[in-house]
Amino acid sequence: MSITVIKRDGSKEEFIPEKIVVSCLKAGATVEAARKIAKIVEARLLEQNVKEVSARDLTKMILELLRKENEEWYRNWIVFDRAIKRRKTEEELAK
């Protein structure tokens, strides 16, 4: 069964657990913790028989698990995420 992620701009893409791992690693998580978080998120979605999930809901799930693992990784994710959103907004304004 495939799960579709509805991104903030309305576009859709396939759910890829490896993307969660990469994001967690960027926040400072260990490989083991990042893989664990990705597996938990995927298992929850499959358990609930979810066909589509918003990027926002996915992020909430990841952040909740990241915070349980390590407060610093959680804060790093928030800072990193805000910087990316700011850059996207600036690029849109520059067009």
pLDDT attached to residue 1:
67
Based on the number of CB atoms within 10 Å of its own CB, is 45 exposed (0-12), middle (13-18) or buried (19 or more)?
buried
Based on the number of CB atoms within 10 Å of its own CB, is 62 exposed (0-12), middle (13-18) or buried (19 or more)?
buried
Which residues form the domain of 54? Answer: 4-94
| Structural domain count of the chain | 1
Quick check: 17 pLDDT over 70? yes
Task: Write the pLDDT tens digit of every residue in 25-78.
Answer: 999 999 999 999 999 999 999 999 999 999 999 999 999 999 999 999 999 999
Reading the block at residue 83, the tokens are 């910087």
Element (H, E) at 24: helix 17-26
Quick check: 4 pLDDT over 70? yes
pLDDT attached to residue 31:
98
